[in-house]
C-alpha cells in the first residue's frame, strides 16, 4: 500500500487528531526521542522486553521465546 505523505510539516500536523497532537507535544516535553531501527537486532531486543513486561503485568507468561 502506498500512502502519500505531504512534505509540508503544517499539512502533516493538521492531519492529526487533537489527541494525537497533544500526545506528541507531551512526549516532546517529556524528552522522548524516536530512534529508527535499521536492523532486526536493533529493535528485536527492546521489543521483546517490552512485550514480556506487558505479559508480566497481566500475570501471564509470554507465549513465545526470544529465539522464536
The pLDDT of residue 15 is above 90 = no
pLDDT above 90 for 2: no
- Does residue 66 contact residue 48 with C-beta atoms inside 8 Å? yes
CA geometry: angle at 36 spanning 43 and 4, to 5°?
A: 125
Per-residue model confidence as pLDDT tens digits over 20-44: 999 999 999 999 998 888 998 888 8
| Predicted local confidence at residue 5, as pLDDT | 83
| pTM, to two decimals | 0.52
Amino acid at each position: 500500500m502506498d500512502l502519500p505523505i505531504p512534505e509540508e510539516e503544517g499539512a502533516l500536523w493538521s492531519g492529526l487528531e487533537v489527541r494525537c497532537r497533544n500526545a506528541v507535544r507531551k512526549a516532546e516535553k517529556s524528552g522522548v526521542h524516536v530512534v529508527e531501527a535499521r536492523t532486526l537486532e536493533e529493535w528485536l531486543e527492546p521489543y521483546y522486553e517490552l512485550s514480556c513486561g506487558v505479559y508480566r503485568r497481566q500475570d501471564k507468561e509470554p507465549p513465545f521465546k526470544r529465539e522464536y
